[in-house]
């Protein structure tokens, strides 16, 4: 075991070799700093810029989405209010039209009733006149048969008319 330690085993330290490693490391770092680090740093800065811009764009898009959502909510509320107003106006219009039709139907019914009353009155007067004429004619015929030759037809008619007028007054 001693042999391993004395002859440069795993745990032995070689100063010359360590200096060459240190010099190689410094040269490597200088080359890296001169040639590799600027593109790497530029790439990292570009990546950082892109990430920052993406985050800002995402925030702007989120703000726009929230604004659109608020606008949509507002438009939905306005549409609901408009729909409610339209339904209300439609109900009012239907009620108004129904009321107008009912009133028109009542007016027409009243006109029909009034016309029927007028027609009935006219028919009643016509029937009374016809009845009077028939009664007068029958009375004249009866009286002429009874009186046969005592009175002429002109006098009979006057007599019957007077009698009918007296009946109408009573």
DSSP class of residue 13 equals -
Q: Going residue by residue through the chain (170 aa), what tens digit of pLDDT does each one get?
A: 344 444 556 677 788 888 999 999 999 999 999 998 999 999 999 999 999 999 999 999 999 999 999 999 999 999 999 999 999 999 999 999 999 999 999 999 999 999 999 999 998 888 888 888 877 777 777 766 666 555 667 777 787 788 788 777 76
List the structure tokens of 12. Answer: 């032995």
Whether 36 contacts 30, CB under 8 Å: no
Q: What is the pTM of this model?
A: 0.40
The Cα–Cα gap between 153 and 137 comes to 11
For residue 8, is it left (φ>0), alpha (ψ between -120 and 50) or beta?
Answer: left
């Amino acid at each position: 075991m001693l042999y391993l330690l004395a002859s440069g085993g795993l745990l032995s330290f070689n100063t010359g070799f360590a200096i060459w490693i240190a010099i190689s490391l410094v040269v490597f770092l200088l080359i890296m700093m001169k040639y590799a680090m600027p593109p790497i740093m530029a790439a990292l800065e570009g990546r950082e810029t892109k990430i920052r811009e993406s985050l800002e764009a995402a925030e702007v898009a989120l703000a726009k989405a929230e604004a659109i959502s608020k606008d949509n909510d507002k438009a939905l509320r306005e549409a609901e209010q408009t729909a409610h107003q339209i339904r209300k106006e439609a109900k009012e219009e239907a009620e108004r039209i129904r009321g107008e039709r009912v009133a028109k139907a009542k007016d027409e019914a009243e006109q029909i009733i009034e016309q029927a009353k007028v027609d009935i009155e006219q028919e009643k007067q016509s029937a009374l006149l016809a009845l009077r004429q028939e009664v007068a004619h029958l009375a004249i015929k009866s009286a002429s048969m009874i009186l046969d030759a005592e009175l002429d037809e002109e006098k009979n008619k006057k007599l019957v008319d007077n009698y009918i007028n007296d009946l109408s007054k009573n």
